[in-house]
A and B are shown apart, each in its own frame.
Chain A
Amino acid sequence: METIAIDQLPLLDLQGKPTLLTAHFNEYALVIFLRHLA
């Protein structure tokens, strides 16, 4: 099974503060990567 080190890859919330993906889900996540804004 493919595993991604999501706890080592910081993102930004809408206020521009660093955050981790794991802070935004409990057990499972459907992560949708946008193509572009439309």
Chain B
Amino acid sequence: MNAFKSEFRRRNIDIVVVSFAEPEMLIPYVEYHEWPFTLLADSERKLYQAFDLKQLAWRKVFSPSTLKLYLKLFRKGLHLEDYGKEDIYQTGGDFLLDRAGNVLFALRSEDPSDRPSVASLLKAFDVCFRQPEKPTRRQMY
């Protein structure tokens, strides 16, 4: 994500990360990961609800694709930290918004491994704002 930060900046897109954990749980998380993004807490999950992010069924949380993702992350060196009580059933999502709250792109995760690529997010944004092409002389009547 860091590598693409300039691409987001070029499009006037700021990145904001929201977690349902309590703020005091997030401070060591931010320090550990050294994230350059704004991280906010939605402990009461009002925003999660407003964005229709639901609880996943057990079979979705432990689906083969989720296990495959975590196996891949462990191979890359991920080790789990203890951030206290967690809700592994809460689903997440990725949204592109404007200031009026209009949703330009939405992905509500079907399981924990269901995440959009950065390239697909940038492409979705560009499609929203693509100017209609001017007709060429041949297309004019």
Contacts and interface: CB of A to CB of B under 8 A. Distances in A.
Are A and B subunits of one complex?
yes
Interface of A: 1-7, 9-16, 19, 21-22, 24-38
B17 interface: yes
B47 A11 contact: yes
Contacts of A33: 18-19, 47-48, 51, 53, 92-95
Given A9-B47, A11-B41, A28 B96 contact: yes
5 nearest A-B pairs in the assembled complex, by CB-CB distance: A25-B14, A35-B92, A27-B12, A12-B41, A2-B103
B15 A28 contact: no
Contacts of B24: 16
Contact of A36 (B86, B94, B102, B125): B86
Interface string B22-42: 011111011000000111111
Interface residues of B, number: 60
Nearest to B29: A37
5 contacts: A28-B96, A29-B16, A29-B96, A32-B37, A35-B92
B54 to A, nearest CB: 11
Contact of B23 (A5, A14, A30): A14
